[in-house]
């Protein structure tokens, strides 16, 4: 009935010269420029130092649980609250369960946080050199943003974050630079912005950064995001989490439950909790990586590389005479994958993940040979 009426309406108007152009379905498409993830080559025998994964396996408790895994569990929906995992995180960080939000990797947690908190119409702020997913989410959700430039040494200028804004995201330690800003700077930014939510992305904090978690009790507008992908060796499982005020976490949960109730699958909940509970293994793994990083710093410096002081599991290194892009190609040809970010500010650096001792020796021995030619 309605349809007929509308047709009548159209034909009743003045006679048209040309038949009406129907809009293509494509005019309704949300256009985005996607994030480019690092390469995930599956070739055997390569040395993979390009996406900051942990070179050691997850806690042996995860392997034990995986061996016992009863597939009948998969018949049922998982716990939408992911309580087991939330509890283990709350216990580890000594916060209340209502202060913990979990998601499918911290990418999911961060995307949910953008969607939940950045709706004022004022631009959100993040540095010009940082995790390159932030501007992708801002564009996807139609959030305006500004990217204040880091200084010449890639340090944050806190004044840039004490101006009017619709929210703030800071990776600390930062990627790809590896630099950690002191907690005092983070606190000034959080306390100076009571009208905005401030996200601190701590993907690398376990490798020697200073966490903002102690500030969570003091500031309702702070959300700290961490991941199982780097220091907890579970990038393939996809687990991330945020800790904040009960109020902020409630807002996040409301949005998440309006989007997808069952983000965390049953194995992620069970194995993630087991991994979080194995503190001794976690500490041991992180200490090994930090020791290798310090060794790598010394060796690379001796070969003519310089880099900011890394508090992460990677170095952002530039060579005194060989362009980064050339080294990137040569390394790749030798089966050693590192990350290269073209661009004016980052184009002469390689981001090199700290691998095992053996991987590190292979990298160094290639570079020694290459630089001698």
Q: Long-range contacts for 224-227 (Cβ within 8 Å, ≥24 apart)?
A: 224/199, 224/200, 225/106, 225/109, 225/110, 225/113, 225/199, 225/200, 225/201, 226/106, 226/202, 227/105, 227/106, 227/203
Cβ 10 to ligand PLP, closest distance in Å?
Answer: 50
Nearest approach in angstroms of CB 312 to ligand PLP is: 8
Length of the chain: 373
Q: How far is the CB of 322 from ligand PLP (least distance, A)?
A: 26
Which residue has the CB atom at the shortest distance from ligand PLP?
105
Minimum Å distance from CB 180 to ligand PLP? Answer: 12
CA nearest neighbour of 89 among 282, 362, 247, 300: 282
To the nearest whole angstrom, how small is the minimum distance from the Cβ of residue 129 to ligand PLP? 12
Binding site for ligand PLP (CB under 6 A): 105-107, 131, 171, 175, 201, 203, 227, 229, 235, 240
Cβ proximity to ligand PLP: between 53 and 160 the closer is: 53
Provide the minimum distance between the beta carbon of 11 and ligand PLP in the complex, in angstroms, as a whole number: 54
Smallest separation, CB 115 to ligand PLP (Å): 16
**172 CA to centre of own chain:** 11
Write the CB contacts of 24 (distance below 8 Å, at least 6 apart in sequence): none
Is the Cβ of residue 150 or residue 175 nearer to ligand PLP in the bound state? 175
* In the complex, minimum distance from the CB of residue 226 to ligand PLP, in angstroms, rounded to a whole number: 8
In the complex, the smallest distance separating the C-beta of residue 179 from ligand PLP, rounded to whole angstroms, is 12
Question: Which residues make Cβ contacts (< 8 Å) with residue 70, sequence separation at least 6?
Answer: none
CB of 38 to ligand PLP, least distance (A): 9
- Cα 132 from chain centroid? 9
């Amino acid at each position: 009935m309605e349809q007929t009426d509308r047709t009548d309406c159209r034909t009743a108007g003045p006679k048209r010269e040309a038949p009406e152009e129907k809009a293509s379905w494509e005019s309704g498409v949300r256009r985005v420029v996607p994030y480019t993830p690092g390469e995930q080559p599956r070739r055997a025998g390569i040395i993979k130092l390009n996406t900051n994964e942990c070179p050691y396996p997850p806690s042996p408790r995860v392997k034990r649980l995986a061996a016992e895994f009863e597939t009948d569990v998969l018949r049922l929906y998982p716990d939408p609250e992911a309580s087991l995992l939330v509890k283990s995180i709350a216990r580890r960080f000594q916060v209340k369960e209502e202060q913990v939000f979990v998601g499918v990797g911290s990418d999911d947690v961060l995307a949910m946080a953008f969607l939940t908190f950045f709706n004022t119409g004022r631009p959100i702020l993040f540095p010009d050199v940082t995790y390159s997913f932030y501007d992708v989410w801002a564009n996807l959700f139609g959030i305006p943003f500004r990217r204040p430039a880091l200084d010449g040494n890639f340090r944050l200028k806190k004044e840039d974050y004490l101006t009017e804004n619709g929210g703030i995201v800071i990776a600390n330690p930062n990627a790809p630079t590896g630099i950690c800003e002191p907690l005092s700077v983070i606190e000034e930014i959080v306390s100076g912005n009571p009208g905005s939510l401030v996200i601190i992305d701590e993907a690398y904090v376990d490798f020697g950064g200073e966490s903002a978690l102690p500030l969570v009790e003091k500031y309702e507008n702070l959300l700290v995001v961490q991941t199982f992908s780097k220091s907890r060796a579970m990038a393939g499982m996809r687990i991330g989490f945020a800790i904040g005020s009960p109020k902020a976490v409630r807002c996040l949960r409301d949005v998440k439950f309006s989007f997808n109730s069952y983000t965390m699958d049953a194995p992620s909940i069970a194995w993630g909790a087991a991994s979080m509970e194995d503190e001794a293994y976690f500490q041991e793994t992180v200490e090994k990586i930090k020791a290798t990083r310090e060794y790598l710093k010394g060796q690379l410096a001796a070969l003519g590389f310089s880099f900011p002081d890394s508090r992460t599991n990677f170095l952002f290194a530039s060579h005194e005479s060989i362009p980064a892009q050339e080294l990137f190609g040569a390394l790749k040809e030798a089966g050693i994958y590192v990350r290269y970010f073209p661009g004016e500010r980052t184009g002469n650096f390689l981001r090199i993940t700290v691998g095992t001792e053996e991987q590190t020796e292979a990298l160094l021995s290639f570079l020694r040979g290459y630089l001698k030619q």
